[in-house]
Amino acid sequence: MLTRSGPAAMKGGTGIRVRRVSRAARLALALSAALTVLLLAAPIAMGADGEGLYGRTDDKVVTFAAFIVIGFFAVLVTVLSLIQIRLESRKERAREDLERLRRP
């Protein structure tokens, strides 16, 4: 919400203050946006006799989809672990540099 107040507004300045949106309001906005997207995507997913975008599914398709999900999480854990290792080594280097600089 934009409001004009304070000495700057009296002098003819731009004294516009921006009020921060609360965390609860941001969460409510995000949840309502996600719900809207899901409701808009539902007819597409259930279109044409329940076939969806991919077409008819059988056990082979479901199995491959499950393997893709398993592979995704394996890659995700690996990448996040590599990022954490790099950040930890960076933190240790910074700590060693600080210790070295503190000693006269």
Over the stretch 16-38, which tens digit does the pLDDT of each residue have?
777 888 999 999 999 999 999 99
pLDDT of residue 24: 93
Looking at this protein, which amino acid is placed at residue 58? Answer: D
- The pLDDT > 70 percentage for the chain reads 78
Q: Where are the alpha helices (DSSP H) in the chain?
A: 7-10, 23-45, 47-50, 59-102
Hey, is 94 helix, strand or coil? helix
Note the pTM of the prediction, 2 decimals: 0.49
Query: How far from chain centre, in Å, is Cα 104?
Result: 45
User: Which two three-digit tokens encode residue 39?
Assistant: 């409701």
- Ramachandran class of 55: left when φ > 0, alpha when ψ lies in -120 to 50, beta otherwise: left
Closest C-alpha to 45, from 54, 37, 36? 54
CA distance 94 to 100: 10
Residues 6 or more apart whose Cβ sits within 8 Å of residue 61: 54
